[in-house]
């Protein structure tokens, strides 16, 4: 039976993966608009705010290619974990990762220019 939990990835590991250019992940940010305004992730993301899932739920298959690894992020890693679990339950994405500690960890460990909130 396949593991139905997103794989954890640290901020430093994600930074190395993005910089390597080797099979770059699709980044999915599930935070709210106001959170993105305060501390945007410094790379291109698909923004799917969980509070408005009714607006985008049907578009997930077209927005997240099944053949590309997905890394989900939020403020601290909890909401992204839930979305990652949901993605795996849909059996469309075999490789789903969760940014441990979210954008807050990214700010503390990788890029202090990203504001903390």
Distance CA(56)–CA(62), nearest Å, equals 10
Among 27, 30, 74, 88, the active-site one is 74
Provide, for the chain, the percentages of residues in helix, strand and coil under a 3-state DSSP scheme, each rounded to the nearest 5: 45, 15, 45
State how far the Cα of 103 lies from the Cα of 114, in Å rounded to an integer: 8
Q: How many residues does the chain have?
A: 117
Per-residue tokens: 87: 């993605």
74 flagged as catalytic:
yes
Residues marked as catalytic: 74
């Amino acid at each position: 039976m396949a593991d139905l939990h997103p794989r954890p990835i640290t901020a430093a590991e994600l930074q190395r993966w993005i910089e390597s250019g080797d099979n770059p992940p699709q980044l999915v940010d599930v935070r709210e608009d106001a959170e993105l305004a305060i501390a945007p992730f410094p790379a291109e993301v698909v923004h799917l705010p969980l509070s408005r899932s009714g607006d985008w739920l049907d578009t997930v298959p077209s927005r997240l290619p099944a053949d590309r690894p997905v890394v989900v992020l939020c403020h601290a890693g909890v909401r992204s974990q839930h979305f990652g679990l949901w993605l795996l339950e849909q059996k469309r994405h075999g490789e789903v990762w969760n940014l441990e500690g979210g954008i807050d960890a990214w700010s503390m460990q990788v890029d202090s220019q990203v504001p903390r909130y």
